[in-house]
Amino acid sequence: MKTKPTKKEAENNIEKFFSRKEFSAKEVRKIKRLAMKFNIKLGKYRREFCKKCLDKLRGKNKVSKNYKTVKCERCRFVNRIKIS
Ligand SMILES: [Zn+2]
């Protein structure tokens, strides 16, 4: 019998996932689903991927007063990240 993964295990998986240097949009979708299932907030990990195409976020950084904006190289969506 297969045991259900626990929230702790899910959290570990998510942490491990985002410590990787490369990941694909497909994998991000999977990890997002996992987080949603366990009601885990992605918080700091959100800035690791593009909000629109879910690919690893890379591109030009621009910092303004309260936000850091990163223009996605792939879909050109401008991601705004709040600076706390
Ligand atoms: Zn994108």
Identify the pLDDT of residue 75. Answer: 96
CA 63 to chain centre: 20
Rounded Cα gap, residues 6 and 82, in angstroms: 31
Residue linked to tokens 């259900």: 4
Q: pLDDT: is 53 or 1 the higher one?
A: 53
Residue-wise pLDDT for 3-62, tens only, equals 788 999 999 999 999 999 999 999 999 999 999 999 999 998 999 999 999 999 999 999
Least Cα distance to 32 among 51, 57, 60, 8 occurs for 51
50 CA to centre of ligand 1 in angstroms: 5
Distance 2 CA to ligand 1 centre (A): 36
Distance 17 CA to ligand 1 centre (A): 19
Residue 83: pLDDT over 90: no
Reported as a pLDDT band with limits 50, 70 and 90, residue 82 is: confident
48 C-alpha to center of ligand 1: Å? 11
**Mean pLDDT in residue range 67-80:** 95
pLDDT of res. 1 = 64
Residues 14/35, Cβ–Cβ less than 8 Å: yes
